[in-house]
A and B are shown apart, each in its own frame.
Chain A
Amino acid sequence: MRVVVQEAPFDFGGEAEAFAKGAAGAGAVVTFTGLVREADGGAMAVMEIEHYPGMTQKALEKIATEAIRRWQLTDALVIHRYGRLAPGDQIMMVATAARHRVAAFEAAEYLMDYLKSRAPFWKKEVLADGAAEWVAAKDVDEDALSRW
């Protein structure tokens, strides 16, 4: 398991390749990458991502450990960025490795659902004219946890 919280961009292709090469004994690797989505109206200049440094690593490791346990993953990777990002930038990625693909897909979805609502990150959209707004948590994201 590897959990990384960083400000710098990551190399999605390189990370995915290295993860797959290291997944000995697995029959399936699933990867997911989240991008900074353009805000409704299309005027967003920057997305600022704040986090809770003392808690973030711990919270992510707890989520990844639970995914590994429940789906008997052979490995899991979580990378999540913070700081100032532009539309189209890669915010985060997860990768899961398992004996079979159903487990790898489900575990990746589980990781994503929990990262959204249980990892201490907060997004703020800054528009080109300088106006800024915190992104509100969605009920649908909270509800998604109940399926696990």
Chain B
Amino acid sequence: MDVLYFAWVRERIGLPKERVETSAATVAELVEELKAREERYAAAFADLSALRVALDQDLAEFDSPLAGVREVAFFPPMTGG
């Protein structure tokens, strides 16, 4: 699946998008896999309450299932308007 990062999450991890092969069943499991990779991921995902997630461009929760999902995006709380 494609994993996208925005705002300071993108800056902390150092890239806007990457292809990830995973068997994670939920967003939370995917986050644990990413955190185990490298320090920059662990730093970006240190506080999940400061993050939001979208699955296939719809807002979701960290316990949402990943079955059938093609695009996951992680970002801080939005500041539009």
Measuring CB to CB, which residues of chain A are less than 8 angstroms from any residue of chain B? 34, 50, 52, 54-55, 58-59, 80, 91-92, 112, 115-124, 134-137, 142
A34→B81 contact, CB < 8 A: yes
Contact mask B57-68 → A, CB, 8 Å, 1/0?
Answer: 111000000000
4 additional contacts (CB under 8 A) given A91-B81, A116-B78, A120-B80? A116-B79, A117-B78, A122-B6, A122-B76
Q: How many residues of B contact A (CB 8 A)?
A: 17
The 10 A-B pairs at the shortest CB distance, nearest first, are namely A137-B77, A121-B80, A122-B7, A116-B81, A55-B57, A119-B80, A115-B81, A115-B80, A123-B79, A135-B79
Question: Tally of A-B residue pairs with Cβ under 8 A?
Answer: 70
Measuring CB to CB, which residues of chain B are less than 8 angstroms from any residue of chain A? 4, 6-8, 54, 57-59, 71, 73, 75-81
